[in-house]
Chain A
Amino acid sequence: MIRKVVYSIFLAIIVLSLVLFFAAFPFGKNKMTVGKYYIDHGVQQTGAANIVTSVVLDYRGFDTLGEVSVLFAAAAGVGVLLHMIGERRERKVKVPPNFVVRVGSRIVFPFILLFGVYIFVHGHLTPGGGFQGGSIIASGFLLLYLAYPNYKLKRGGLAAIEGLAGLTFVTLGLYGLLTPKVSFLYNFLPMGVFNTLVSAGILPIIYVAIGFKVASEFAGIIDDMICDVMCRGGEK
C-alpha cells in the first residue's frame, strides 16, 4: 500500500515537471542565452572549429574532469564488486569461436583502432572526441575477447595508461595556474591555424588523454565482466 502511494507521488512529480518543462520550452524555437555567446566567441577564444568541443573542454573543462572521475569511480566499482569473492580461473567457452570470427577479427581490429584514434584526434574539428573514440577502441578489444577465448589484457598496462592519461589532464589544468592568467585549464599553447589538425592549443591534447582514459577504463570493465562470467564455469 505504502509502495503504491510513493509510486503515485513520484509519478505525479515527474508528470508535473514534464508539463511545466514543455510549457516553458517549445520545440524548435531559439532559446539560447549562454550558447549564443559560445557560438559567437568560441572560435576566437578557443580556436576550435567544433563549438561542442570548446564547450566540453574549455568553458566547462572542470565539469569534464568531474565526469572523467565519475567514469573512473564506476569502472573501479565494477572491478571491486566482481573481484570481491572467489579467485579467477581460466576462461571457459561452451562453443569455441569459429575460423571466420577469429581471422575476421584479426583483420578488422587494426582498422577499429585506427578509426577510434582518428575520431579522438580530430575531436576539435569534426563531430567526435575522446569519449566516442575511446568507446570505439574499447569495442575493438571486446571483439578480441569474443574471438579468442585465451585473450587477456594486461591489467597493469591498462592501469598505467589510465593513470598517465588522467595525470596529463590534471597537469595541463594545473599548469594554467602558473601562467600569467591564473586559471585552471587555461589554454596556454598557441592557437595555430584555424580548422587544421594542430590548432586550438591544449584542447586536442586533452581529448587524446580522455580518449586513452576512456578506452582503458572500458577495456577494464569488459575484462572484469567477461572474466567474471566465463571464469566460473563450475558454478550454477
Chain B
Amino acid sequence: MIYYIGSLLLIAVGLYAVLVKSNLIKIIIGLNFISSGVNLLIISVGYINNGTAPIFSRLGLNPNTMVDPIPQALTLTAIVIDASELALAVAFVVLLYRHYKTLDIKKIRSLKW
C-alpha cells in the first residue's frame, strides 16, 4: 500500500512542477518525477503479498507465490527509454537557452499561449 501512496506522491510532485514552475530545468525534473512515479505504480500493481521474484534461480521455488513478471518487463525497458528521453529534453533546453538566453518559459515568446 505504501508503494501506491509513494507513486501517487511522486506523480503529484511531478505534475506540480510541470504545471506551475516556469523554469525549463524544473519542468524536466518534474517529468522525470512523473516517469519514476508511473514506473513504481506499474511495478506495485504486479506485487503479490509475500511474493518472490519471478526467477527460478534454485530448485524448490513455488511458482504460485511469484509476482507478475509483465510489469517488471515493461518498466525494465521504460527506465532506459526515460533516461534517453531525458537526454533529448535536456538537449532541447540547451538549444532554447542558446537561442533565447533564458530558461524562463514566461519570457520565451514563442512558447506563450
Contacts and interface: CB of A to CB of B under 8 A. Distances in A.
B53 A127 contact: yes
A174 interface: no
Contacts of B85: 74
B9 interface: no
B49 A49 contact: no
Nearest to B3: A27
Given A27-B1, A27-B47, A52-B76, 13 more contacts: A29-B49, A39-B54, A39-B66, A52-B73, A63-B77, A77-B91, A81-B91, A81-B92, A84-B95, A125-B57, A217-B84, A218-B83, A218-B84
Nearest to B84: A74
A35 B42 CA distance: 14
Interface string B55-95: 11100000100101110110011011101110110111011
The 7 closest A-B pairs by CB, nearest first: A74-B84, A51-B54, A28-B49, A35-B68, A55-B73, A67-B77, A81-B91
Interface of B: 1, 3-4, 8, 11, 15, 19, 44-49, 53-57, 63, 66, 68-70, 72-73, 76-77, 79-81, 83-85, 87-88, 90-92, 94-95, 98, 113
Contacts of A27: 1, 3-4, 44, 47
Nearest to A4: B19
B94 A228 contact: yes
Interface of B is mostly: helix
Interface residues of A, number: 60
Contacts of B48: 28-30
Contacts of B15: 11, 14
Given A27-B44, A28-B48, A81-B91, A126 B55 contact: yes
Contacts of B72: 52
A78 B80 contact: no
A71 B54 contact: no
A75 to B, nearest CB: 6
A135 to B, nearest CB: 7
